[in-house]
Chain A
Amino acid sequence: MKAYDAIVIGAGLNGLTAAALLARAGWRILVIEQHNEVGGLAGPGILHDHGSLCTKLLAGLRLQDHGLELTRTAAPLHAATGAGERVTLSAEAPAGGLSPDDAEGYRQYRAVCSRTVPLFRKLLLRPVPQRKADFLMLLPCWRSAAARELLHLAPLSAKDFLDQFFVHDALKAALAVPSLQAMYGGPFAPFGALAILMHEAMRGQHVVGGLPALAGVLHEAAASHGVKTRTSTQAEEILVSKAGQACGVRLATGETIATRMVAAACSPKEVFGSLLRFGAQRHMFAWRTRHLRGRGTTAHMVLDAAAPALLPCTRIAPGLEALERSFDRLKRGELPDTFALEIAAGRKAAQLSVLAHCVPYRPKGGWTDAARSELTGRVMEQLLPHLPSTAQVSQLRTPADLENEYRIPGGHCYHLEQAPDQLLVRPVPNFASPVAGLFFCGSGAHPSGSVTCAPGALAARAMAAYQKPLGRLFRNNRHI
């Protein structure tokens, strides 16, 4: 049998994106996914945010033809400010329910975002600059006022950043949530502003039907270009030839599949930790990657609530200092009393989906049943003022569960923490690993985070560029 041009490991959104783009360019692609459905983290409705798809990078796929519906209007964000009270923040419309000070603060906050975000977005949604030419091209960016502002703001903690604009503590805490999700640190930790701004920068168009719909569309688009998908198939090892070239994938069943290239859409930590064997990797590199940090602090819960009293897209957080104290406890391996909660509509009508931040990856003593019910109990306690008392947690995924279920060592939502030192080098600049022909195309690759599908799309480009000198095998590379 002829070898595949590339095997994509993991049918998350990014894996599917890369697969579809490469297949469109004429590559023979196989996607393997350990679960029985595609979509990865986006599959079972864990994800709330579906407003950051980077459609520009996906234009070539004509996803609309496969049923993708997008809207420009974002669902407004609500922040609980007290028992039963909340304010509404929306990027487009003026904010509702805010005190005059906070309303003015919000206006300024949006102004800062609109000044810095375009530049940031430009920097993020392109490969990491590496060559001299890349740097020269960026030179004008660095001279702009936006760059100065960004440089000044990014290192601030979420607290320092938000204190500049807002008065109400719970409001600040609600806005600090993206930093809690992206990084391992409380709201007092530096670079929280970076995470918040990055979150803003990644905002894009909204997918009607949410992420499971997007996964379906991508899968269909991929299939239409001839991508083969094997679900319930787990990759066990990435095979490397004597010449140091990735040349195949061995499955858990023992079957091996030959390929010219491998695109890993799974966590880079998994790639280095278990998929690559000795000798296939360089020691300094292995050393560096072993220390890639991906300490997850987010848990997901499904809530059965007969008549959800909460609007979807609500954030409930106790205040910055309280969150910082929660994080202190997390650091010590204890279960905090309060969390930052994000609530969204569940997959079914009478369900809510809740993300809880500041949950330890593994509390002292492990995730025993007692610890699990302790966690849900505390979350419910925090939710209760906002919910009918009949609500019940029907499903809980701790960071450790996410680790097992999706093979993300550490259980971090973005595979790797968005710490600034891991930002431009995730895990390697420009997707190509030191093993020739092995690329990263998942959330752990640049620019990571959020459901942009940008890592998948940028990685597909990088792979095509890598292949180019090898001949005209791939006819349509330039279309990627």
Chain B
Amino acid sequence: MVKSPFFVRQMALCESMRWRPWSGFHAVESYLLQHDLEYYAVRSAAGLLDVTPLCKYLVSGTDSAAFLSQTMVRNIMRLRTGRVAYTCWCDDDGKVVGDGTVMRRGKAEFLVTTTDPCYAWLHRFAGGYAVEISDVTDTLAALALQGPYARDILQAVSDTDIFIVRYFDTCKATVAGCPIWISRTGYTGDLGYELWIDRESALRVWDTLMTAGAGYALRPVGLMALDMCRLEAGLILKHVDYHSAIHAFTDARKSSPYELGLGWTVHLDRGPFNGQAALRREKRSGSRWALVGLDIDWAETEALYSDIGLPPALCPEPWRSSVPVYRDRDRQHQVGYATSGTWSPILKKNIALATIRSGYAAPGARLQFDMQVEHARHAVTATVRPPRFFDPPRKISMPV
């Protein structure tokens, strides 16, 4: 296993000793025995998360924009320098292979970040292009500073004006004498930044942030809290909410961008790109599935518990296992499955992300969610809604 440069600090802070492997790194699941405080830090103060295990590739060369435009569903040619784009990439059948962000750092320099390795995939199409792809996963450390006070903390330690950085913009800055890249991005659906730091400077930046953040109740945050946040924000996760088309065993496990709710990232009308023909066809004829949010009825859940004399039990951790979703209360007609979910402490709702047949996926549709209460299975009403459950204005707003 590889150790992130922050490992020494995390080791000292990780009281719970709960770790999880992530892309070959040790990653903290939660620092505290209960992860709630970490979650609340992100939603009400600020949280600091080590995202070094993200796969990071530097794509450079005169053809890099053209190359990325042809491999990704989004037209990267149109991405301005200093901007970041969220996108996904597809195979010929228009099925999603991976998703991630592309950051244009210069005219001919891009940083691609994603949860799963995609070097080989990119490499496959690089023939004939003047591009160079280098894997900087191990040399480039990354931190996510997320939460309402992220901006203030970052401003306190950096020499640049963070206040003018817009949503999905980037800037260069110096923190504690170390040059870093900052992008206003994140996986929490909140105001937040991601910091891209050379491995050597990594610890210094961490320490500086932690010191400056003390006054803002900054906390190191683990993956458990992150999972809750991303579910509230309706952000999908590879291997959990969808399978990569190149690793899926059967066609049934593959999904298109439209089915995953990523249709907005697809720029169809332009030069050829991977999966274009299939995506055009799908756009014309409609998709079979839709990724939706489910709001699982709390009153019904409570009633089920009280019927057997128990107080309602909240699932203490976000879950990620496939749960059938039915059309009817008798659970005869399955119309889809939920892939992950959580109790949302902010919204006071039991929420889930689900893949539902498109005919049943209209917002407001009432479906039946398969739930185990004590030792028996029941149907609980779940209302379909857009996956973005939590979307505070501060995520994209500019300070006045």
Chain A positions within 8 Å of B, measured between CB atoms, are 240, 242-244, 277-280, 282-285, 287
Contacts and interface: CB of A to CB of B under 8 A. Distances in A.
Interface string B263-281: 0000000011110110000
A279 B91 contact: no
Contacts of A277: 128, 272
A278 B92 contact: no
Interface string B81-114: 0000000000110000000000000000000000
Given A278-B128, A278-B272, A283 B277 contact: no
A278 B125 contact: yes
Nearest to A278: B70
Contact of B70 (A242, A279, A285, A287): A279
A287 B274 CA distance: 13
Given A244-B277, A283-B124, 13 more contacts: A242-B272, A243-B277, A277-B128, A278-B125, A278-B128, A278-B272, A279-B273, A279-B274, A283-B92, A283-B125, A284-B91, A284-B92, A285-B92
Interface of B: 70, 91-92, 124-125, 128, 271-274, 276-277
A301 B185 CA distance: 66
Contacts, number: 27
Given A278-B125, A278-B128, A283 B91 contact: yes
B272 A279 contact: yes
A468 B175 CA distance: 69
B92 A282 contact: yes
B202 to A, nearest CB: 36
27 contacts: A240-B272, A242-B272, A243-B277, A244-B277, A277-B128, A277-B272, A278-B70, A278-B125, A278-B128, A278-B272, A279-B70, A279-B271, A279-B272, A279-B273, A279-B274, A279-B276, A280-B272, A282-B92, A283-B91, A283-B92, A283-B124, A283-B125, A283-B274, A284-B91, A284-B92, A285-B92, A287-B124
What's the dominant secondary structure at chain B's contact region? loop
A338 to B, nearest CB: 38
A243 B274 CA distance: 14
Contacts of A243: 277
Which 5 pairs across A and B sit closest by C-beta, in order of nearness?
A: A279-B272, A282-B92, A244-B277, A283-B92, A278-B70
B220 to A, nearest CB: 41
A277 B124 CA distance: 14
A277 B125 CA distance: 11
A286 to B, nearest CB: 8
Contacts of B273: 279
A243 B277 CA distance: 7
A384 to B, nearest CB: 46
Contacts of B91: 283-284
A282 B90 CA distance: 11
A283 B272 CA distance: 12
Contacts of A284: 91-92
Contacts of B124: 283, 287
A88 B339 CA distance: 75
A228 B212 CA distance: 79
Contacts of B272: 240, 242, 277-280
